[in-house]
């Protein structure tokens, strides 16, 4: 026969705490493993498996990412010049 475990009855608003040393090591180990595990592990196989990108597509992506700040600054300068012309006219 298995022994029954009685949980203590607590007053409303109190916080249940594990007795010292019972679950602390297990919970911290589980938390550490979850924190170190990459999220790709939790994804299903059809979501995580895909063919690698081609070299041309990767190069275009890198060039696009490098040119994006210049484009944003250029659009900002154009907007400032246009707003200056409209205010002065």
Please check whether residue 9 lies inside any domain of the structure. Answer: no
Range of the domain at 55: 24-88
Give the predicted TM-score (pTM) of the model: 0.38
Q: What is the pLDDT of residues 45-63, one digit of tens each?
A: 666 566 777 888 889 999 9
Would you say residue 30 lies in a domain?
yes
15 assigned to some structural domain: no
Question: Into how many domains does the chain fold?
Answer: 1
Half-sphere exposure of 85 (CA within 13 A, CB side): 6
Instruction: Give dist(CA 89, CA 60) in Å, integer.
Output: 42
In a domain, 12, yes or no: no
Locate 10 and state its tokens.
Answer: 């607590």
Report the mean per-residue pLDDT for the chain: 75
Q: Which two tokens stand for residue 61?
A: 């992506």
Residue 58 lies in a domain: yes
Domain assignment of residue 76, yes or no:
yes
| pLDDT tens digits along 8-58 | 666 666 666 656 655 555 567 777 777 776 666 666 666 656 677 788 888
């Amino acid at each position: 026969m298995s022994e029954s475990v009685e949980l203590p009855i607590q007053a409303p608003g109190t916080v249940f705490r594990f007795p010292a040393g019972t679950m602390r090591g297990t919970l911290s180990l589980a938390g550490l493993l979850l924190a170190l595990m990459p999220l790709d592990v939790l994804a299903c196989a059809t979501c995580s498996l895909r063919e690698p990108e081609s070299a041309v597509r990767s190069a275009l992506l890198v060039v696009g990412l490098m040119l994006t700040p210049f484009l944003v600054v250029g659009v900002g300068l154009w907007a400032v010049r246009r707003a200056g012309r409209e205010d002065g006219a």
